[in-house]
Amino acid sequence: MVSVPLLPREIRLHSQSNELELVWSDDIKSRLSGALLRKACHCADCLSTGERNQVEEDALLIRNVVGAGHYGIQIIFSDGHDRGIYPWLYLRELGQV
């Protein structure tokens, strides 16, 4: 179980390796690849069509990360897909192996 509230202290986008790094308030670090994040998108489109499981390699680059208030972040991918909002807790869970 993860204690609440849990927020990232830092968010870094590593363009070279196509990874998003988060440093959490409890000093745990998560490194999430663009591929993992794109396939984990749970916007209405991805969930209803299963599109996220068939994305092309070139659709998996993280273009930009935008804050979505206290809730989490919005990630924009190289294929233009930008509908996914990733809540903090979801990102934390994705980062746990």
CB-based contact 30:40 (threshold 8 Å): no
Q: Residue 46 interacts with Zn ion (CB under 5 A)? A: yes
| Least Cβ distance, residue 9 to Zn ion (angstroms) | 27
Give 25 or 64: the residue with its C-beta nearer to Zn ion: 64
End-to-end CA distance of the chain: give it in Å, rounded.
14
Q: Which of 32, 41, 55, 75: binder of Zn ion (CB under 5 A)? A: 41
Give 21 or 45: the residue with its C-beta nearer to Zn ion: 45
CA distance 2 to 20: 20
Q: Residue 43 interacts with Zn ion (CB under 5 A)? A: yes
CA distance 39 to 18: 14
